[in-house]
Structure 1
Amino acid sequence: MKTTEADEKIERCVEERKSFLLDAGAGSGKTASLIRTLNQIRGSQRRRLVANSQNVACITFTNVAKNEIIERTEGDDLFKVSTIHDFLWNSIKPFQNELKVAVELVNERLPAKSKRRKDPAELKAALAEVQGISYSDRGGNFLEGRIFHDDLLEVAQVMFKTYPMLSRLVAAKYPYIFVDEYQDTNEKVISSLLDCILVTKSPPVIGFFGDKMQSIYSDGVGELSEGYLAKLELIQKEENFRCATTVIDVLNGIRSDIKQKPAGQNPVGSAIYLNLHRANADEVVDVAKALVREKFSWQFADRDLRVLFLTHRLIARKAGYENLFAAYNQRGGFSQEQFQTGEDANGKFLCNEIDGLVTAWKSDDAGTVISLLHRNQRVVASKKDKKRVKEALDKLAALVVANASIGDVLKYVRDVDLLPLIDQLNYWLNPEVCGNIANDPESERDRTFFKALFSVPFREISAYRAVLERNLPYSTKHGVKGDEFDTVMVVLDDVGANWSQYSFGNLLAGSDLSEARLQRTRNLFYVSCSRARRNLAVVDLAAPGASISKIQKLFGKDNCVF
């Protein structure tokens, strides 16, 4: 990928030790710019950094991104590439006394009725007895000295704000800190970096790489505030290396802050709009495929088509986990979003541990079975152990085949001690221990959710997992972020959308009175359309109404079917 003007500006910032923010549109090669920056530092600063026992920190939003950067930098240990949570935990875990104080401070900030909040005196006494604070992905319990995924960001922020020495130590260890996909990073992390670490006497160069228009996670910072931007040099990257010129034109019509241009000999391609509100929802993809082939002469194999549903309802129905989707959809909030990304702790456990174990057993994959058991502290050594596990797995597989519910499967796994359940699942399997929750809306919502979850047939977990692992030709909005495909079909479904969060009809008509909802919908639409390398078809399931003229302006009159 060729060097751009933005790359040269980043290079100057690194040389002059100026912190910066790269805002770059879809397909612009943000990761390539990040890798180029890392290689620049490796070439000019490696000897000095190694001599001083220093490293370059690179913070990613996902493990997939982390692994990609490690691979593209040849696994060089000069670069400490880690997810946000790993970076924070590795920074604060050596300071156990301070960690205990931070946990107490975070506990005091919790609402009085929160079931997570502990009595301050009881917590202080309990923490005095525990050996140390640990970070667990199986659930948090302050009284046992365990913090969970969601606790870590706040605990770390309290640590950085309360103990300036921590910021100085991180700055000394990492003269360069780069954040990938800054828009998806929680504001607490941004604050720790810019309000604490950047203001030390010898601050690091902090570089943010991303695109505010591609912010689609509710807990991400999105666009940085003016106060944060004042501390950074803003760099824009206008090239698009990925998309056909017709797709770039649509993307430029969706956003106005960055006008992209083809980076080279981008193909012309095709970008069209199909309004199929009269079609049966279950048949709309087949109708759309026939239409683009007949009317627009698209030529593609079905295996090369990626269908992207902007709401989860239709994909859940097609894939076979509609009841599972309904349980999470009713719960709403952050948990619903984590379910869509595959990051919900309960969903991850059910998919990776339980369904993973059943699938491996049914496939005679003994290596994976043993690995999963060992990962969950279950050792199979003696003949007696092997016999017990075999009988348990045979029965577990039979339960799944017999269409047992998630609750029944979990109860069986717990009863035979096949795997340890994560805290939340274990807790809500025992409603008698829940106590009086009549005046606790948070616990009431949890009880309603887990009751619905446990009644879902376990086979829906397998179907959900197939979508997460991309074993089906369609995806959710979060499932393709960062990906690209030759031919993309984006399905708009206002009926399946959370009306308070998204409205595609109002976006296309330019009539949404909620600026926040308009921005969320625009971001989602932009991310989805920008996955197409050559051909893009937007399939709308809602009647067009007053949006026809604006749609024709965006796609071109000859490229629209109503």
Structure 2
Amino acid sequence: MDIKITPFNQVLSCLESETSFLLQGGAGSGKTETLKKLLDHLSRSMPDKKVACITHTNLAANEIKARAGDLHSISTIHSFLNGIIKSYKLDIHKIIHEIFQLDEFVAGEAMEDEKEYKKLEHDRYKKKYEKYADKAYFILGYKEDKVLGKRDYDNKSSTANEALNEKIRHLNGEIKDAINRVPSHKITYNETAFDSLRELSFGHDGLIKVAVSLFRKYPKLRKILSDKYDYIFVDEYQDTSPDVVKVFLDYVAAGTDVTFGFFGDSMQGIYEDGIGDVDAYVLSGALHKINKEDNFRCSEQVIKFINKLRDDGLEQKVALKKMDGGESESLESRQGRVKLFCAVHTDKPHSSSSSEQKEAYQNKLYRLIEKTQASVDYKTLMLTNKAIASKAGFGRLYEIFNSRFGQSTNENLEKILSACHFLDLYNLYEAFASNEHWKVIEQVKKSGFLIDSVNDKEILLRSLSSIFDLTVPIHDLTRRAFELKLIKRSEAYDRFIKRKDLFLEQLEGSHRYREFKEAFIGGLNTHSRLSKSGFEIDEYEFRDLERDCKREIFYTNYFGFDLTLKDVICYYDYLGEKTNYITMHKTKGSGIQNVLVVVDEFFWRDYNFKNIFSSKDILSENRKIIYVACSRAIENLICVKLVDEVELSTVSDFFEDVEVLEFD
């Protein structure tokens, strides 16, 4: 009789043979529980083995520590890497310029469509030039000329590229000279999201780059790591930087006796900066793959559905949990339902369609959502959009960014708010409001707030009480927090402010721009309308000046009086899933009893959900985000989608229960 070897025993077999492995398990499979069990086993059976366990959040690290104890090194990837490299400041000093310098501009490969090629090349050149000008102004105090317009760039692209690269080489040389003037012992990891040339410190992303560079260049560091640990386990491997995985497997594992274990799920690799999968290492034999087919979370019906979304051949099965009394739950208790509510809509608009077409489509979608919500009380998962932002309380904030950035609203919203320290302010507010004083003290100490006495704590209390007014403009509160040393002002913030001030100063001196702005705001807001009015302008200049106008309006509104702390709190509450609406973007999270998933892109350019519920070959990134959202359902799952007639004919491949709604 065949006796199936459990995934846990397969892991133990790999450790015994010193074979690095991948434990692949879907949502709710208990991968982290297996990791905890493994650490517990090693503590009892192999206490002489030195083990490191790497997680992606402090919360995950603390949860594993609570089970495994202090015998092993359990930490986030940042704490782990910093612990290895922090004593080698002389070596760090030799390579730290890499995180501050700019790469030179490299022209792209020619395309058959010359017009499209020239457009893309100018867009790339413009981004690189603006990045250079930003750094040059901040570091050297240079005020560079405005970037070349497309027509001028097309006429002398090679000359313009070389001139830009010459400027970049000069800037990079100045950066290296500035670093060489600072003693190596001054270098620090600042434990924030930002690098600082002024302080010669690096943040979270800088730490990854520095550590990877050191491991690649210095075999002695790889030897030190192998002497320190026998086993290194990585939780949620799919979210790990590709460069870190490459260092671990191509440099450390290949040249030392360290055995690596990767725990995770490639179908949940939805972060752009994560490796996603390690299939290449499995195919090469560098990793032995172990599939974990259990699902302890979802109902039988949800499991059957999400299995159809997977593209790796892994098929999950219901795994019955042990109850508090020791008995197992019953299969009857793991029943639920999966259903699709849809409506037919032909000729779906795209990002460049007219606003009227988009509005008609979205109105129909919202009616479908509302009709579905009226019949069930489920948490709603969807991509962030204008309507949901309003319902969640940050409509004004979203509109300010959407008017400026369009399809790239969400990525810029997250990035700019972080650079302006709104996330720091929110975290401080949350800790203060929930009386988690240790968190407050931990955060303000990083900002330079000294607490040596009871009186210092009283000053801190008064300072916090003075800034958390929900009605005060958010930028006023941030500046006040800097002054009180509640938040440390970063170079990223200073660069953002200087970039804004320089841009507005340049506009002020442009008579051409002022003429354009007056006409544009007066209703001549298309190239056709403006040209017909007698205003001489080509489409490329119109696009550049329109972009400048939108940018000026953005700065005026973003730094205006209407944007308050309340808007920011509502936005981060939404990201933290404290509302009935939950974003699908970059969000995994734990199980939710009943889930309603809105399968629509809302004109996000990164996704395409057409034919997602069919057996057709679909880009894996599109399936992954739907898989992650749907696999959060513990009992019942409802999907909502507008479909065309062709899609309607294929949805039965995935859904046994389909209800087609009709609207007048």
* TM-score for the superposition, normalised by structure 2: 0.69
| 1:314/1:18 CA distance change after superposition, 3 Å | farther
Q: Distance in 1 between matches of 2:462 and 2:235?
A: 47
1:390: Cα distance to partner? 7.5
Please state whether the residue corresponding to 2:276 is helix, strand or coil. coil
- Unmatched 5+ residue regions in structure 2? 106-128, 136-167, 321-329, 344-360, 508-543
Residue 463, structure 1, aligned to residue 570, structure 2: yes
| 1:110/1:132 CA distance change after superposition, 3 Å | farther
Residue 221, structure 1, aligned to residue 275, structure 2: yes
May I ask how many residue pairs the two structures share in their alignment? 520
Q: Which amino acid aligns with 1:213?
A: M
Q: 1:232-273 deviations in whole A, cap 9, x for unaligned? A: 111111222221111111112112421222224442210111
* Equivalent residue, structure 1, for 2:57: 62
Q: 1:5-29 deviations in whole A, cap 9, x for unaligned? A: 2222111101211100111112211
Residue 351, structure 1, aligned to residue 429, structure 2: no
Q: Distance in 2 between matches of 1:170 and 1:138?
A: 26
* Equivalent residue, structure 1, for 2:95: 102
CA contact (8 A) 1:321 1:464 kept: yes
| 1:528/1:338 CA distance change after superposition, 3 Å | farther
Equivalent residues in 2 for 1:10-409, closer than 5 Å: 10-46=11-47, 48-49=48-49, 55-73=50-68, 76-107=69-100, 110-111=103-104, 114-115=131-132, 118-120=171-173, 122-130=175-183, 131-136=185-190, 137=192, 139-142=194-197, 144-200=199-255, 202-227=256-281, 229-230=283-284, 231-256=286-311, 257-264=313-320, 265-266=330-331, 267-275=334-342, 287-292=371-376, 302=377, 305-311=378-384, 313-326=386-399, 330=405, 336=411, 339=414, 346-353=421-428, 355-356=429-430, 360=433, 373-379=444-450, 396-398=467-469, 400-401=470-471, 404-409=472-477
| 1:166/1:319 CA distance change after superposition, 3 Å | same
* CA-atom RMSD in angstroms: 3.8
Instruction: Compare CA radii of gyration and give the structure with the larger one.
Output: 2
Q: 1:505-554 deviations in whole A, cap 9, x for unaligned? A: 34235678xx6xx21110000011111111111122x3444211222221
CA contact (8 A) 2:236 2:262 kept: yes
Q: Distance in 2 between matches of 1:44 and 1:333?
A: 52
Equivalent residues in 2 for 1:435-514, closer than 5 Å: 453-455=558-560, 456-477=563-584, 481-495=588-602, 497-499=603-605, 501-508=606-613
| 1:313/1:156 CA distance change after superposition, 3 Å | farther
* Equivalent residue, structure 2, for 1:546: 646
1:91: Cα distance to partner? 1.2
CA contact (8 A) 1:217 1:337 kept: no
Q: Distance in 1 between matches of 2:596 and 2:314?
A: 24
Residue 421, structure 1, aligned to residue 489, structure 2: yes
Deviates more, 1:126-135 or 1:96-105: 126-135
| 1:307/1:343 CA distance change after superposition, 3 Å | farther
1:229: Cα distance to partner? 4.3
Please state whether the residue corresponding to 1:291 is helix, strand or coil. coil
CA contact (8 A) 2:420 2:493 kept: no
* Equivalent residue, structure 1, for 2:624: 523
Q: Distance in 1 between matches of 2:620 and 2:208?
A: 25
Q: Which amino acid aligns with 1:65?
A: A
1:223: Cα distance to partner? 1.8
CA contact (8 A) 1:328 1:339 kept: no
Q: Which amino acid aligns with 1:87?
A: F
Deviates more, 1:82-91 or 1:116-125: 116-125
Q: Distance in 1 between matches of 2:257 and 2:437?
A: 51
Q: Distance in 2 between matches of 1:84 and 1:452?
A: 38
Q: Which amino acid aligns with 1:175?
A: D
Q: Distance in 2 between matches of 1:383 and 1:72?
A: 36
Deviates more, 1:525-534 or 1:141-150: 141-150
Q: Distance in 1 between matches of 2:635 and 2:296?
A: 12
1:77: Cα distance to partner? 1.9
State, as a whole percentage, how many aligned pairs show the same letter: 29
1:56: Cα distance to partner? 1.0
Q: Which amino acid aligns with 1:288?
A: T
CA contact (8 A) 1:138 1:148 kept: yes
1:286: Cα distance to partner? 5.0
Q: Distance in 2 between matches of 1:6 and 1:227?
A: 19
Q: Distance in 2 between matches of 1:452 and 1:498?
A: 23
* Equivalent residue, structure 2, for 1:296: none
Q: 1:161-209 deviations in whole A, cap 9, x for unaligned? A: 1001101111111110011111111101101101111022x42110111
CA contact (8 A) 1:127 1:144 kept: no
Please state whether the residue corresponding to 1:129 is helix, strand or coil. coil
- Unmatched 5+ residue regions in structure 1? 50-54, 293-301
Please state whether the residue corresponding to 1:523 is helix, strand or coil. helix
CA contact (8 A) 1:98 1:159 kept: yes
Q: Distance in 2 between matches of 1:107 and 1:314?
A: 39
Q: Distance in 1 between matches of 2:387 and 2:614?
A: 23
| 1:290/1:122 CA distance change after superposition, 3 Å | closer
CA contact (8 A) 2:102 2:172 kept: no
Q: Which amino acid aligns with 2:224?
A: L
Q: Distance in 2 between matches of 1:364 and 1:482?
A: 25
Q: Distance in 1 between matches of 2:443 and 2:223?
A: 40
* Equivalent residue, structure 2, for 1:411: 479
1:371: Cα distance to partner? 6.4
* Equivalent residue, structure 2, for 1:560: 659
Please state whether the residue corresponding to 1:236 is helix, strand or coil. strand
CA contact (8 A) 1:319 1:464 kept: yes
CA contact (8 A) 1:408 1:454 kept: no
Please state whether the residue corresponding to 1:522 is helix, strand or coil. helix
Q: Distance in 2 between matches of 1:392 and 1:155?
A: 36
CA contact (8 A) 2:613 2:653 kept: no
Equivalent residues in 2 for 1:530-541, closer than 5 Å: 530-540=631-641
1:454: Cα distance to partner? 3.3
Q: Which amino acid aligns with 1:547?
A: E
Q: Which amino acid aligns with 1:422?
A: S
Q: Distance in 1 between matches of 2:77 and 2:660?
A: 44
Q: Distance in 2 between matches of 1:459 and 1:511?
A: 45
| 1:458/1:258 CA distance change after superposition, 3 Å | same
Please state whether the residue corresponding to 1:487 is helix, strand or coil. strand
